[in-house]
Every structure is written in structure tokens, then in C-alpha cells.
């Protein structure tokens, strides 16, 4: 019994050994090499580049006060539409004490002069009625009184402007009312009620009450690498994709290419601007949206092409391998071709092969076991 068990054990060991040897022998055999094959296709090839940038209004107008003071009321908020001349905020004047004192003194002096002129006029009129003075003398005295009354009114207006920022005679054009100078959308109101604001002057830009822009006149602003800027010309069409609006694309037209490069992370970049055609669908585009602009640098229509992976480059020459025969007798003929435009995936073939030729593609290793 033990002898039979020993024979069986030896037989199993032999089978495992032989099987392992056969398996390793099969695996050591070279696998058959096969290639993808395809025929040239007629298609449009476009060489494009994508520029990253932002959408912004062409012009943003900063609305500033005409006087210095304190914000007492804000009538609008960011996101509101506003018409030119519409009031955005109200400012209360904090008068300068020196100017206020001078204005009050001017009013007092004007009243004194007016009172004296009126007295002179009344006396002169009595004499004129009695025929004791000439008409010329009477007219001069009357003119002096009229001028004195005008000075009183002017001095009073000046006092009201210094004290209140507006006079009764020009209340409709009050400088205490901050009005929008353009029609558009309010992008930002950086002040609050109670904030002090100052008038712009030679030494100060003044306080910005609001920023207003026409959101129907937008531009795309981005930067393009120096290796591609030479292919751009103003007037080129662009397609704008906004990250926040993935399902929409907007047409744009290139209108500016910077003549000077800027250094960004060690690479020379040129600023470009394009006019964006705002869709009539009413989709709201917000200032500052991140966007990508696709620009077609070159285009070839209805040309014969093959995948670029099928091309063999050797110096300035390009080659493909054309299949000859079938089955075990299949061979590949190396043939020189003239190539054209490439989009990075497909490349134009100008001459060297026909539309019926079968072109060898990249090789792949068969996973089938040899038979």
C-alpha cells in the first residue's frame, strides 16, 4: 500500500514539474505583434489655443461726491440698475469754520451796504420827484441799490452753500445729492451711512461712492504666450466659455494685442482683449467671471488626414507604413508623405498616400495564447 502511495506522489510531482516547465516555455515564446490599421479620412482640421482670463465691463465709472461731508442716506445697493442723473446717496456738509465765518461776515456787510443804498435811493427819489436832481443822478443811485440787493442775495446763497452744501436758489442741482453720471449696473458701493467722504482735488482722488458699469458692453481680458502671439491678428473670432455657465458659449472678436510682454512666472505673456457679444437670451454675465477663450490659429477644410500617432518623423521628413497583402503574407511598405496642419490628434496628409490605402497605426501586443 505504501509503495502505491509513493508512486502516486512521485507521479503528481512529475506532473506539476512538467506542467510548470510547459507553462514557462509557452510564456517565453515571443508574442505576435499586431498593429492598428485605418484608412485616411476627409475632415476639417483646426489648430486652436485656449487663453484663460476674465470677463469685465469695458468701462467702470467711479462716482464721487462734489463736496466733502458725511453720508446720511444711501438710496441704492450693489446690483441695482441706475439711470444717468439718478440719485445714489446723500451727503451732509460739515462746514469749515473759517469759511463759515467769512460767509457770515459777507452777509452782514452786504445787509449794511444794502440798507445804506436803500436810504440813499429814497432820499434821491424825493429830490428827483421835486425836480431838484437830474435823471442821470437818480438812475445811478437806483443802480447802486439794485447791485446792493443782488450782493445780499449772493452772500446769502454763499452762506447756505458753505453751511448746508446747497442754496435755496439751486436746490434742484444740489451738490449734496450724489448722482450717477452714466446708465448701467451698480457693481459696488464701498461706503456706508455715517462714513466721511471727501471731494477729489489736486492732492486726493476723492472718495468713491459707487462703481457703475454698462454690462451690455463687455470685454474678455487674458494673456497669451509669446510662442503663439505671432499668429494672432485683430478681428479674429473667438469662442468664450465661462466656468460658471458651462452650457453656454459666447462669440467674441479680438480687438487688442499688447505690444509689450509681461513676465509671469518666468514666461513672457502678452495681454489681449476681445469684445464679447452679449446674448439676447438675457443670461446675466457678472463682472469678474473666469473664462476661457478658444482661438482658431489655423484651419484646413475637407483635407485627407490620419492620426498623428501613425506618422514617423525623421529629420525634416515624415513617413507612414502602408499595408501590403493579407494574413501571414502581410507586410508594411515605408512611404514618404507630405504633411500639413495638425491639431495634435490628427494631421493633414497632402501627398504620398491615397484614400484607399491602409495605414499602419501604433503596435499592440496580442494577449491571446499561441495556438
Q: What is the pLDDT of residues 258-296, one digit of tens each?
A: 999 999 888 899 999 999 998 776 667 888 899 999 998
Question: Quick one: pLDDT at residue 238?
Answer: 92
pTM over 0.75: no
**H-helix or E-strand spanning residue 131:** none
Q: Which CATH architecture has domain 33-45+301-365?
A: Beta Barrel (2.40)
Alpha-carbon gap, residue 344 to 67, rounded angstroms? 61
CATH 2.80.10.50 fits 60-212, yes or no: no
Region class of 19: left (phi > 0), else alpha (psi between -120 and 50), else beta: alpha
The reply to whether domains 49-58+215-299 and 60-212 share a CATH topology is: no
Question: Which region holds residue 206: left if phi is over 0, alpha if psi is between -120 and 50, else beta?
Answer: left
pLDDT of residue 182: 92
Structure confidence by residue, pLDDT tens digits, 102-129: 877 887 888 888 888 888 888 878 877 7
Q: Among 82-86, 281-285, 320-324, which stretch is predicted with the lowest mean pLDDT?
A: 281-285
Rounded average pLDDT over 81-100: 82
Q: How confident is the model at residue 370 (pLDDT cuts 50, 70, 90)?
A: very low
Q: Whose CA is closest to 35, among 306, 310, 308?
A: 310
Buried (b) or exposed (e) across 225-254, using 16+ Cβ within 10 A? eeeebeebeeebebebbbeebeeeebebeb
pLDDT digits (tens, 9 = 90+) for 216-268: 899 999 999 998 898 899 999 999 998 888 778 889 999 999 999 999 888 89
At residue 324, does pLDDT exceed 70? yes
If you average pLDDT over every residue of the chain, what do you get?
83
What tens digit of pLDDT does each residue of 141-183 get? 888 888 888 888 888 877 776 666 555 655 555 567 889 999 9
Q: Which residue has the higher pLDDT, 60 or 28?
A: 60
Domain boundaries of the chain, sorted by first residue: 33-45+301-365, 49-58+215-299, 60-212
Q: Which CATH number does 49-58+215-299 carry?
A: 2.40.30.170
Cell numbers representing residue 303 in the block: 483635407
- The predicted pLDDT at position 30 comes to 59
Instruction: Pick the more confident residue, 155 or 336.
Output: 336
Amino acid at each position: 500500500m505504501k509503495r502505491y502511495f509513493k508512486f502516486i506522489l512521485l507521479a503528481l510531482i512529475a506532473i506539476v514539474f512538467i506542467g510548470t516547465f510547459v507553462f514557462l516555455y509557452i510564456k517565453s515564446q515571443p508574442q505576435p505583434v499586431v498593429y492598428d490599421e485605418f484608412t485616411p479620412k476627409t475632415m476639417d482640421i483646426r489648430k486652436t489655443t485656449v487663453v484663460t482670463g476674465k470677463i469685465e465691463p469695458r468701462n467702470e465709472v467711479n462716482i464721487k461726491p462734489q463736496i466733502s461731508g458725511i453720508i446720511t442716506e444711501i438710496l441704492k445697493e450693489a446690483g441695482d440698475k441706475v439711470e444717468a442723473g439718478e440719485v445714489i446717496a446723500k451727503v451732509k456738509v460739515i462746514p469749515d469754520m473759517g469759511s463759515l465765518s467769512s460767509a457770515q461776515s459777507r452777509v452782514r456787510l452786504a445787509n449794511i451796504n444794502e440798507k445804506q443804498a436803500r436810504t440813499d435811493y429814497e432820499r434821491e427819489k424825493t429830490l428827483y420827484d421835486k425836480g431838484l436832481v437830474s435823471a442821470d443822478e437818480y438812475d445811478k443811485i437806483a443802480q447802486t441799490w439794485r447791485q446792493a440787493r443782488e450782493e445780499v442775495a449772493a452772500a446769502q446763497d454763499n452762506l447756505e452753500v458753505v453751511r448746508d452744501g446747497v442754496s435755496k436758489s439751486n436746490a434742484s442741482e444740489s451738490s449734496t445729492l450724489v448722482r450717477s453720471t452714466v446708465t448701467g449696473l451698480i457693481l459696488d458701493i464701498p461706503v456706508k451711512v455715517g462714513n466721511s467722504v471727501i471731494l477729489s482735488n489736486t492732492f486726493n482722488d476723492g472718495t468713491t461712492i459707487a462703481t457703475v458699469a454698462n454690462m451690455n458692453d463687455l470685454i474678455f481680458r487674458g494673456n497669451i504666450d509669446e510662442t503663439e502671439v505671432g499668429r494672432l491678428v485683430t478681428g479674429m473670432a473667438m469662442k468664450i466659455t465661462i466656468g460658471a455657465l458651462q452650457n453656454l458659449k459666447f462669440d467674441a472678436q479680438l480687438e487688442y494685442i499688447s505690444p509689450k510682454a509681461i513676465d509671469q512666472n518666468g514666461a513672457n505673456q502678452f495681454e489681449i482683449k476681445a469684445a464679447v457679444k452679449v446674448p439676447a437670451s438675457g443670461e446675466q454675465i457678472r463682472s469678474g467671471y473666469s473664462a476661457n477663450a478658444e482661438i482658431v490659429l489655423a484651419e484646413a477644410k475637407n483635407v485627407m488626414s490620419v492620426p498623428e500617432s501613425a506618422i514617423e518623423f525623421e529629420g525634416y521628413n515624415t513617413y507612414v507604413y502602408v499595408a501590403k497583402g493579407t494574413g501571414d503574407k502581410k507586410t508594411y511598405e515605408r512611404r514618404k508623405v507630405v504633411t500639413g496642419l495638425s491639431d495634435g490628434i490628427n494631421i493633414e496628409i497632402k501627398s504620398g498616400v491615397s484614400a484607399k490605402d491602409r495605414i499602419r497605426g501604433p503596435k499592440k501586443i496580442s494577449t491571446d495564447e499561441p495556438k
